[in-house]
Amino acid sequence: MAIRATYPPSAMHEAAEVCLKCGVCCNVAHSCHVMYDKKFNPKYTFVYDCLSSDKGASNPNIWMCVSCHKCEETCPYEVSPVHFIEALKGVALGVGVVHPTIRAEVAQVVATGFAFPLSGATERQRQALNLKPLPTKPLGELGKIADKTGLAARLREGQP
Amino acid sequence: MKYTLFLGCFIPVRLPHIEAVARGVLPQLGIELADVDGFTCCPEPVGFLTDRMTGLAMAARNICLAEEAGLDIITLCNGCTYTLKQANETLKADAALRARVNDVLSETGHEFKGTVDVLHFAQVLSRRVGLDGIKAVVKKPLTGLRVACHPGCHILSPPAVLGFDDPLDPVVLDGMVSALGADPVDWDKKTGCCGWTLTNYGEREAANRLLGAKLDAMHAAGADCSTVICPQCFYQFDTGQMLAARELKLEYKVPTIYYLQLLALAMGRSLDESGIRQHRVKDPALEERLGRLVA
Ligand code: SF4
Ligand code: SF4
């Protein structure tokens, strides 16, 4: 199966060159949801400010992309803006521009294994439904993974 | 058919009534659910783009637990399916990447081998159980119930990996709704994003406008309710609709019902047993009608 993955940094430049800035990816019905924000439209936010700029990773609007792949399905030139934006998000942690919600969520997953904090209310609800309690012990294995990849260190550096 | 049940975070933490329904109804369709200790967040697909190797290794670790149990994975969430399937297929196809990920995993004692599949429950129901298998458990057909199906972005795209339906013209969920005796409606904006991620990481106002456009389209098509197969979409259409109602000046309600809840109703479960009464968007007329259908 041929799988297209997020562009490695080396392929980003090439993708940006192939893009005609034609805007087809942004103008098809049901395309990018960013059109619902009055301040942005996908053509400016993503095509011009990301695919045509060398400062894309520090553009806060990349965090508005939800990886729905609509642009990938509509681009006639197989540029796949989604993979370009995903690659920019990868660069972003390195240069310190990450949406604060994301940084907190990533840290929370590494520490607890869950993306959301567990509360007493959750446990009471689960009990009432006869569901098993959720594990509350921190999971050492995720910490080992984050140590090995360097994510743990990057998260520490980014903390005030 | 036996699977490891991968719950992810959203359902067990925020929507446990959906977990309860899944555990209640799936075995009655011949889907045996095994619990495996140690599953974590899939991890969440948007956040872990900031560190692809960590994201891949965490997903691979979850898949390893299923491999060690010798069972395929069944999920209840589009996001989990998207993360795990992409990791699974990418690592099966790319030996060099697999070696790097296994190096990262080495200290955890797991090794990704590529021996299992990841399936969303809607894939298991539509393909392995089949529409006739669904029809066979229906005791109370949901006759006349008009349902707007919202499959959600991350079960549709990228189609080469997810392999669920045509992302530009999805029909599989509609078929599953028809199998319950209900009427899927044709509605505009069916393939648009629910906006949950936009609420969380982007702009709430934009997410509300998007939600309003989708609800308007469902209402215009005469839908009594919508149905979803993803907890994020569910949360957006339920809690999100309740929170946005005033800002959007909504003059109607389109309650949402998770597909497994519709299935539970059609199998003869009460509204209480199906968890419908736990929802934020309440429509007494719809509840009364559903009550009559399952009586
Ligand atoms: S990504 Fe594709 S569709 Fe979008 S502007 Fe570039 S070439 Fe056109
Ligand atoms: S993947 Fe991102 S950029 Fe592409 S259409 Fe979806 S939200 Fe827009």
B residues 70-99 lying closer than 8 A (beta carbon) to A: 82, 86, 89-90, 93
Mutation target among A40, A65, A67 for the B interface, most CBs of B within 10 A: A67
- Cα–Cα distance, A105 to B93 (Å, whole number): 29
Q: How confident is the model at residue B179 (pLDDT cuts 50, 70, 90)?
A: very high
pLDDT, mean of residues B148-168: 94
Q: How confident is the model at residue A31 (pLDDT cuts 50, 70, 90)?
A: low
pLDDT of residue B55: 92
Task: For residue B110, give the CATH number of its domain.
Answer: 1.20.1050.140
Among B96, B121, B146, where does a domain finish? Answer: B121
Q: Which two tokens stand for residue B255?
A: 């309650």
Instruction: Pick the range with the lowest mean pLDDT from A26-35, A148-157, B143-152.
Output: A26-35
Flag whether B212 is in a domain.
yes
pLDDT of residue A1: 32
Cβ partners under 8 Å of residue B12, min gap 6: A122, A126, A131, A134, B19
Ligand 2 geometric centre to CA of A26 (Å): 9
Same domain, B74 and B210: no
Q: How confident is the model at residue A9 (pLDDT cuts 50, 70, 90)?
A: low
Mutation target among B5, B37, B50, B168 for the A interface, most CBs of A within 10 A: B50
- Measured from the CB, is residue A69 less than 6 Å from ligand 2? yes
B residues 140-199 lying closer than 8 A (beta carbon) to A: 153-154, 156-158, 160-161, 167-168, 189-193, 195, 197-198
Same domain, B104 and B142: no
Domain coverage including residue B76: 2-121
Same domain, B199 and B95: no
Number of domains in chain B: 2
- pLDDT per residue as tens digits for the range A62-86: 888 888 888 888 888 888 888 888 8
Q: How confident is the model at residue A6 (pLDDT cuts 50, 70, 90)?
A: low
Task: Check CB contact under 8 Å for A70 and B202.
Answer: no
Is the pLDDT at B186 greater than 70, yes or no?
yes
Flag whether B197 is in a domain.
yes
Instruction: Pick the range with the lowest mean pLDDT from A66-70, B131-135, B138-142, B263-267.
Output: A66-70
Q: Is A127 on the interface with B (CB under 8 A)?
A: no
A residues 12-71 lying closer than 8 A (beta carbon) to B: 30, 33-34, 36-39, 63-64, 66-70
pLDDT of residue A28: 67
- pLDDT per residue as tens digits for the range A85-98: 888 888 887 676 77
Is the pLDDT at A2 greater than 60, yes or no?
no
Closest Cα to atom 5 of ligand 2: A32
Cβ partners under 8 Å of residue B22, min gap 6: B5, B11, B33, B76, B121, B260
Residues in chain A: 160
Sort A136 into a burial class: Cβ within 10 Å, 0-12 / 13-18 / 19+.
Answer: exposed
Flag whether B249 is in a domain.
yes
Choose among B37, B26, B27: nearest CA to B64: B37
pLDDT, mean of residues A119-144: 89
pLDDT of residue A73: 86
Flag whether B127 is in a domain.
no
Alpha helix stretches (DSSP H) within chain A? 9-18, 24-27, 42, 70-74, 81-95, 100-112, 120-128, 140-149, 151-158
pLDDT of residue B294: 93
Same domain, B38 and B113: yes
Same domain, B153 and B201: yes
Is the pLDDT at A114 greater than 80, yes or no?
yes
CB B220 within 8 A of CB B187: yes
Q: What's the mean per-residue pLDDT of chain B?
A: 95
Atom of ligand 1 nearest to the CA of A43: 5
For residue B35, give Cα distances in angstroms to A101, B232, B264.
Answer: 31, 23, 21
Ligand 1 geometric centre to CA of A10 (Å): 19
Phi, psi (degrees; rounded to nearest 5) at B143: -60, 130
- Location of structure tokens 């904090």: A117
Is the pLDDT at B274 greater than 50, yes or no?
yes
Is the pLDDT at A8 greater than 70, yes or no?
no
pLDDT, mean of residues B167-194: 95
Q: How many CB pairs under 8 A join A and B?
A: 187
Among B121, B151, B181, where does a domain finish? Answer: B121
Closest Cα to atom 4 of ligand 1: A25
Query: Among partner residues B93, B110, B200, which is closest to A1 by beta-carbon distance?
Result: B93
pLDDT of residue A96: 62
Instruction: Pick the range with the lowest mean pLDDT from A11-15, A72-76, B182-186, B257-261.
Output: A11-15
- Cα–Cα distance, A158 to B21 (Å, whole number): 41
Which one has a higher pLDDT value, B151 or A93? B151
Among B72, B91, B121, where does a domain finish? Answer: B121
Cβ partners under 8 Å of residue B159, min gap 6: B165, B166, B167
Task: Check CB contact under 8 Å for B210 and A126.
Answer: no
Choose among B281, B173, B192, B290: nearest CA to B237: B281
Query: Among partner residues A1, A2, A142, which is closest to B58 by beta-carbon distance?
Result: A142
pLDDT, mean of residues A14-41: 73
Flag whether B129 is in a domain.
no
Flag whether B132 is in a domain.
no
Which residues of chain A have a CB within 8 Å of the CB of B57?
Answer: 145, 148-149
Pairing between β-strand B183-184 and β-strand B146-150 as defined by DSSP bridges: parallel
pLDDT of residue A103: 82
Q: What residues does each domain of chain A span? A: 9-95, 100-156
pLDDT of residue A10: 63
pLDDT of residue A4: 47
pLDDT of residue A7: 62
Q: Which two tokens stand for residue B102?
A: 């296994």
Same domain, B115 and B147: no
- Location of structure tokens 């903390």: A159
Tell me, what's the ipTM?
0.89
pLDDT of residue A99: 75
Same domain, B287 and B185: yes
CB A79 within 8 A of CB B5: no
Is the pLDDT at B70 greater than 50, yes or no?
yes
Q: Per-residue DSSP letters for B49-91?
A: GGSHHHHHHHHHHHHHHHHHHT-EEEES-HHHHHHHHHHHHHH
pLDDT, mean of residues B138-160: 96
- Cα–Cα distance, B203 to A37 (Å, whole number): 7
pLDDT of residue B75: 98
Task: For residue B284, give the CATH number of its domain.
Answer: 3.40.50.11810
Same domain, B159 and B59: no
Residue of chain A nearest B197, judged by CA positions: A66
- pLDDT per residue as tens digits for the range B77-116: 999 999 999 999 999 999 999 999 999 999 999 999 999 9
Instruction: Pick the range with the lowest mean pLDDT from A113-122, B118-127, B177-186.
Output: A113-122
Is the pLDDT at B67 greater than 70, yes or no?
yes
Global pTM? Answer: 0.93
- Measured from the CB, is residue A85 less than 6 Å from ligand 2? yes
Same domain, B170 and B208: yes
Same domain, B112 and B167: no
Is the pLDDT at A3 greater than 50, yes or no?
no
pLDDT of residue B142: 98
Q: How confident is the model at residue B197 (pLDDT cuts 50, 70, 90)?
A: confident
CB A158 within 8 A of CB A96: yes
Same domain, B50 and B154: no
Pocket of ligand 1 (CB under 6 A): A 19-25, 47, 75, 77, 79, 81
Same domain, B144 and B116: no
Is the pLDDT at A13 greater than 90, yes or no?
no
